[in-house]
Amino acid sequence: MKSDNDVVITGVGIVTSLGVGIEPHVAFLTGSSIDEPKVETERFKPYPVHPMPEIDWSAQIAKRGDQRQMENWQRLGVFAAGLALDDAGLKTDADACASMDMIVAAGGGERDIKVDSLIVDEALKRNDRDMVLNEKLTTELRPTLFLAQLSNLMAGNISIVHKVTGSSRTFMGEESAGISAIETAFHRIKAGQSSHSLVGGAFVAERADILLLVEGIRAHATGGWQPLWSRSPDNGGGMITGSVGAFLVLESRGYAQARGARIYATIDAVEGDRGNRDDGGLEKRMSRLTAHGTPGAETVVFSGASGMVDLAKREKTALEQAFPGSAIRGFGGVTGHAMEAQFPLGIALAALTLESTAKVPAFDAANETPMASPAKQAIVTTVGYTRGEGIAVLSAEA
């Protein structure tokens, strides 16, 4: 039964290596097959990444000064947020933007790689490495870099550029940040504490510091691209990161209907959790989380699996047990794994699928079954590459 406090998706802002905006992503979801994903294998060799597409920043960030004072991570988030507002028809509605809540999933800002390299090189020549660090931090770093590192600057720039000036929250913590952002927006609207929210995140994979962070636990894949479920330890840890911006406009059904908004889909449930994964801990949590959904041919599962070999196998087994007869699609194999933006990205793809009544082609033909008919329900999961699990259940508009 429909309620005025149902949480509905009215705007989708999405940027991946597949392209900018809704059109290339709907084409990808409704196609009969998946083309070879866009992967950059030379710039960061031996680590492949799904690169950012060509973007005309001026389309959403009009002032050159605003563009210059942001780094790519912030630009990508502000740009995707603008796409979502445009899509929802709220970009030019000053009153709606002024009262709109904003929840952002963010990582840290970009590092000064030249200074990092200088510190490492100098430390190889001296034994007083604590002194080397202090010397270089006080003489080499520009003061504005410390501001650029602040995680809440993405939200600040969205407020400045798009005039979204209601309440603002920023979550940090890799994949769990994206889960918490969506979950918080969902429950606030469901409880009547918010009528409309802008929620999402962005991640830039083409950063040497990110690759170093991921490879620090030997998580990144090496060599060429392999389908998500087909990866093996022979090619590194299995994860291939991707540059992604994904924002959603979420509204209460009552608010959306009152302004005549188009509704992509309804979010029926969102839940996140985290804990030790040893001794079947992951499987126990997945069993509880997946109970929110209904198995069968009318359900499609968008798995946000990271691609880490053992973890991906455990997740896929849990999903097959929870959703027999449902098609499972590991979207990170095509877009890359997007950390904070992974969960919002999965929900965006699920919403586009339900609204366009797509029969989503297999992303890994050897390990994913065809869809017999368009889905009426979509399950979105994200299992963090080190910790954190989340699930959302979406249903098509009748």
- Predicted TM-score of the model (pTM): 0.93
User: Do residues 203 and 250 share a domain?
Assistant: yes
- ∠ CA 210-216-219, nearest 5°, is 85
Q: CA–CA distance from 213 to each of 30, 208, 210, 231, 260 (Å)?
A: 35, 9, 5, 20, 45
User: Do residues 247 and 388 share a domain?
Assistant: yes
Under 8 Å between Cβ of 334 and 18 = yes
Under 8 Å between Cβ of 112 and 120 = no
Write down which residue in 145, 164, 191 finishes a domain.
145
- Any idea what the CATH number is for the domain that residue 222 is in? 3.40.47.10
User: Do residues 157 and 187 share a domain?
Assistant: yes
Whether the per-residue pLDDT at 112 is higher than 80: the answer is no
Whether the per-residue pLDDT at 44 is higher than 80: the answer is yes
User: Do residues 128 and 208 share a domain?
Assistant: no
- In terms of Cβ atoms closer than 10 Å to its own Cβ (0-12, 13-18, 19+), residue 187 is middle
pLDDT of residue 115: 80
User: For residue 258, how many other CB atoms are within 10 A of its CB?
Assistant: 12
pLDDT of residue 145: 58
Quick: pLDDT tens for 81-92.
Answer: 999 999 999 999
Q: Is 110 helix (H, G, I), strand (E, B) or coil?
A: coil
Give the position of tokens 């990808």: 28
User: Do residues 74 and 205 share a domain?
Assistant: yes
20-48 burial by CB neighbour count: b if 16+ within 10 A, else e?
bbbebbbebbbeeebeebbbbeeebeebb
Half-sphere exposure of 98 (CA within 13 A, CB side): 3
Compute the average pLDDT of residues 221-236. 94
In sequence order, which residues have a C-beta less than 8 Å from that of residue 225 and are 6 or more positions away? 36, 37, 39, 41, 48, 240
Task: In whole angstroms, give the CA distance from residue 293 to residue 269.
Answer: 9
Residue 227: inside a domain: yes
pLDDT of residue 143: 61
Average pLDDT, the chain: 94
Under 8 Å between Cβ of 14 and 348 = yes
Compute the average pLDDT of residues 345-356. 98
Residue 353: inside a domain: yes
pLDDT band with cut points at 50, 70 and 90 for residue 1? confident
380-391 burial by CB neighbour count: b if 16+ within 10 A, else e?
bbbbbbeebbbb
Whether the per-residue pLDDT at 257 is higher than 60: the answer is yes
pLDDT of residue 135: 84
pLDDT of residue 218: 95
Whether the per-residue pLDDT at 224 is higher than 80: the answer is yes
Quick: pLDDT tens for 143-200.
Answer: 655 555 678 889 999 999 999 999 999 999 999 999 999 999 999 999 999 999 999 9
Under 8 Å between Cβ of 268 and 37 = no
Residue 2: inside a domain: no
Number of domains composing the chain:
2
Compute the average pLDDT of residues 220-240. 95
Quick: pLDDT tens for 293-331.
Answer: 999 999 999 999 999 999 999 999 999 999 999 999 999
Write down which residue in 121, 145, 169 finishes a domain.
145
Structural domain including 134 reads: 113-145
Quick: pLDDT tens for 271-296.
Answer: 999 999 999 999 999 999 999 999 99
User: For residue 191, how many other CB atoms are within 10 A of its CB?
Assistant: 9
User: Do residues 170 and 180 share a domain?
Assistant: yes
In sequence order, which residues have a C-beta less than 8 Å from that of residue 338 and are 6 or more positions away? 16, 203, 205, 241, 242, 243, 244, 246, 332, 345
User: Do residues 128 and 242 share a domain?
Assistant: no
Quick: pLDDT tens for 120-142.
Answer: 888 888 888 888 888 887 887 76
Under 8 Å between Cβ of 384 and 174 = yes
Give the position of tokens 């005309």: 56
User: Do residues 124 and 208 share a domain?
Assistant: no
